[in-house]
Amino acid sequence: MILYAHLPSNSSLSVLKPILTAALLLLTLAGRAQQGVPTNADMPSVPPAAEKLPSFEIRQPDKQLSPFTGMTRRHWQDAARYLLSGAFSYVHKLNDPMQFPKQPGKSYSRTPGQVPTEKLEGLCRTLFMAAPLLKEEPGLTLNGIKVADYYRHQLGLLVDPQSPSFIRPRAKDGGPSQNLVEFGGLGVALFAAPKILWDPLPQATKDALAATMLSYGDGPTVPQNWRYFNIFILSFFDSRGYPVNKKLLEDYLQKQLTHYDGQGWYNDAPTYDYYSMWAFQMYGRLWSEYYGRQRYPEVVRQLDANFAPLHDTYPYQFGRDGHMIMWGRSITYRFAAVVPFPLMGLRPAADTNFGWMRRIASGALLQFLQNPDFLQDNVPTLGFYGAFEPAVQPYSCRGSVYWLAKAFLGLLVPADSPFWTAPENEGAWTTPALASGTVFNKFEPGPNILVTDYPNTGAAELRAPCHQPSSDPYRGDENYNRLSYNSAFPWQADGPNGEVAMNYVFKNQQGKWEPLRLFTFRRFEEGVYYRDAVLETNPNVKLRLADLPLPNGILRLDVNQSTETLPLRLGHYALPNLTGTVRHRTRRVQGHTVHLLDNGTYQLALVPLQGWDAVDAVDATGLHPVSQKSTVLNAVGTSAPSRPLLATLLLWKRSGQKWTKAELLPVRSLSAADYRSITVQMADGSKRVVRFGE
């Protein structure tokens, strides 16, 4: 079966539609061909494991080496073993596949023809945990099964035509497929632990695996991070003496380098997201160590140079507690995003604060491992914390979640690396630049990403330009179209009645609430992040956006350039209902009505300064990744040309902290002659000027 997973995207529908059509046709035909069964056949279900895993526990935390998390390299191994044991609770004999209960919703498998690839995902992705563990504990046994024996046996089943796990070689005219993805991941594991996974295999199995895997690797791919799957397959078998297509390998290597845009970021054709880290940077780093450094030193020098800025940029994108931001597609891979941090320890740079890197990486692991909703049926859910259908991609199956196990490839870094030996610290959060009462902006001009850190709450926030139409099946949604993303406030999905969080929605000509998706970055200057936005279905509705991060939130000064009048709403971040109620109240401050929410963990405040009719506290169900119930503050108005400025304060604090008047109204006045320039008099006496220009 061929499951086309991560299609390239393009803002031009004329380019995108034929690609989608061809891919869907390929999926349908391949799904039928793999098993020779009708696609509407009943799907057998996998029953849940008989025994439930206990909650993850840090045994004997080391508070001297790791005063913030207690986690050392040994605890990382414990975490990998814990998650792997959940997967092995479905394995009772060597023939049992890595197949798990399907989560209701749009994830696959949806047809019997997809089942072999579903099993392949579970097998290859759990190896990201198993391979580093087996290198140091070859006799590892889980659920009564010798783990090394199991994976070697399963590799043989992949090339056994009589096995239900058999994967057909790519047809001569076959295109890119999910099988290519998984075989590329398998190539990583084979490089990592060849003495355990490859060397003991019978020669006939090796040859059959080479033939099957090279049929995919020596073939077409998707022009983005996918090229690394071909690269790893070709590289591994070349290292084992098999003839491979070196010309294709070298072509793909050069093309991967063209995706680099600076500050450690690769674009994934065309967006920025965690694929830059858990794909481009991770694959490049490991490929260099296992294969490239001796054979392609010029390519490796460039990869090293592209990796080098990460220690000075990427850490700021995580909260003080190490929590990561919910952002981008495949968010179900979660803490795979931290893998660059341990990989910095492979060739340590002297100016790297490894104690901060590990504090972040361990904090992100615990963000999920200690969340009670993370596991269901002993397997991580498809979602962010628990199951969350709005964030699920249709190319994912239940085993797809084990891409998160890429974080444990950090265990390939030697135990004496400074990543493991440096005492934990909080890095920049303890410096004067991030002192209490301040806001810290770090702009990255290559990808035009703005990272903002808020010392008062310890949260990190990210803004990235995105111009993805709704027709993009993987990017034209909340994963990318929020005005900003915050580590303390995971994004809430839009609702059918105009419920919106951290974006504008307009009631379009079809009577539906439509969010802004088409953003154009302008510049970052003097603490202001400028973008333009146009409504996808109506080019007469457009805004010029200006974000001014403040110590306790955001000042939005958005100039309305619309020539048509549509109802609109602007959402704050949303709060999950954690205690049975989210308290809503109002307060008058110097003539302004302030709307406040409090869920017992955080408080949010929305202050309409200019251009708004009202503010609603909107309760939502099933839209938030943390809780079934949530509440969001929405400012309500229209895009009438007579309202040239939409000025809004979106503020926050931790619960239990009192708001001063100056904190709730940090703006004293706004003045503008023609809205190409807006002067902001701040309550502290300072002045800010927002310059949109022509």
**Domain check: are 359 and 449 in the same one?**
no
- Assigned domain for 54 exists: no
For residue 102, the one-letter residue type is K
Residue 21 has pLDDT above 50, yes or no: no
Which pLDDT band, with edges at 50, 70 and 90, does 43 fall under?
low
**Domain check: are 391 and 468 in the same one?**
no
Task: Convert the pLDDT of each residue in 504-518 to its tens digit.
Answer: 999 999 999 999 999
Q: What pLDDT does residue 349 have?
A: 96
For residue 160, the one-letter residue type is D
**Domain check: are 350 and 438 in the same one?**
no
Instruction: Give the DSSP H or E segment for 148.
Output: helix 147-158
Eight-state DSSP code of residue 383? B
What is the tally of structural domains in the chain? 2
Half-sphere exposure of 69 (CA within 13 A, CB side): 29
Least Cα distance to 465 among 260, 270, 275 occurs for 270
How long, in residues, is the chain?
Answer: 694
Q: What is the mean pLDDT of the chain?
A: 93
For the chain, what is the radius of gyration of the CA atoms? 26
Indicate which CATH number applies to the domain containing 578. 2.70.98
Q: In the chain, what percentage of residues exceed pLDDT 90?
A: 92
b/e burial code for range 22-55 (CB count within 10 A of at least 16 → b): ebeebbeebbbebbeeeeeeeeeebeebeeeeee
- Assigned domain for 61 exists: no
**Domain check: are 507 and 647 in the same one?**
yes
Q: How far is residue 653's CA from residue 664's CA, in Å, rounded to a whole number?
A: 10
Could you tell me the two tokens for 296? 């392609």
The residue from 394, 420, 446 where one domain ends is 420
Q: How far is residue 432's CA from residue 435's CA, in Å, rounded to a whole number?
A: 5
**Domain check: are 506 and 362 in the same one?**
no
Give the mean pLDDT of 657-667: 97
Residue 34 has pLDDT above 80, yes or no: no
Give the mean pLDDT of 332-342: 98
- Assigned domain for 68 exists: no
Give the mean pLDDT of 65-94: 98
Q: How far is residue 176's CA from residue 106's CA, in Å, rounded to a whole number?
A: 21
**Domain check: are 365 and 443 in the same one?**
no
Residue 594 contacts residue 667 (beta carbons within 8 Å): no
- Assigned domain for 17 exists: no
Give the mean pLDDT of 432-451: 97
Which residue spans within 66-107 are E strands per DSSP?
none
- Assigned domain for 394 exists: yes
Q: How far is residue 2's CA from residue 179's CA, in Å, rounded to a whole number?
A: 7
Give the mean pLDDT of 102-120: 95
The residue from 372, 388, 420 where one domain ends is 420
Q: How far is residue 339's CA from residue 355's CA, in Å, rounded to a whole number?
A: 15
Residue 182 has pLDDT above 50, yes or no: yes
With a CB cutoff of 8 Å and minimum separation 6, the contacts of 83 are 129, 380, 402, 405
**Domain check: are 393 and 436 in the same one?**
no
- Assigned domain for 4 exists: no
- Assigned domain for 228 exists: yes
Provide the CA 42 distance to its chain's centre, in angstroms. 33
Residue 13 has pLDDT above 50, yes or no: no
Which residue spans within 207-309 are E strands per DSSP?
260-262, 265-266
Owning domain of residue 453: 432-667
Task: Convert the pLDDT of each residue in 251-293 to its tens digit.
Answer: 999 999 999 999 999 999 989 999 999 999 999 999 999 999 9
Q: What pLDDT does residue 17 have?
A: 36
Could you tell me the two tokens for 27? 């999926």
Instruction: Give the DSSP H or E segment for 649.
Output: strand 645-654
Residue 539 has pLDDT above 50, yes or no: yes
Q: What pLDDT does residue 223 have?
A: 96
**Domain check: are 237 and 285 in the same one?**
yes
Q: Which has more pLDDT, 418 or 6?
A: 418
With a CB cutoff of 8 Å and minimum separation 6, the contacts of 604 are 572, 573, 575, 596, 597, 598, 633, 650, 651, 652
Q: Catalogue the long-range contacts made by 51-55 (C-beta closer than 8 Å, 24 or more residues apart).
A: 51/89, 52/378, 53/82, 53/85, 53/86, 53/89, 53/375, 53/378, 55/370, 55/372
- Assigned domain for 616 exists: yes
**Domain check: are 537 and 468 in the same one?**
yes
This prediction has a pTM of 0.93
The residue from 369, 391, 420 where one domain ends is 420
Neighbours of 661 (CB within 10 A): 12
Beta bridge partners of 295: none
**Domain check: are 384 and 278 in the same one?**
yes
**Domain check: are 168 and 93 in the same one?**
yes
Indicate which CATH number applies to the domain containing 218. 1.50.10
**Domain check: are 101 and 223 in the same one?**
yes
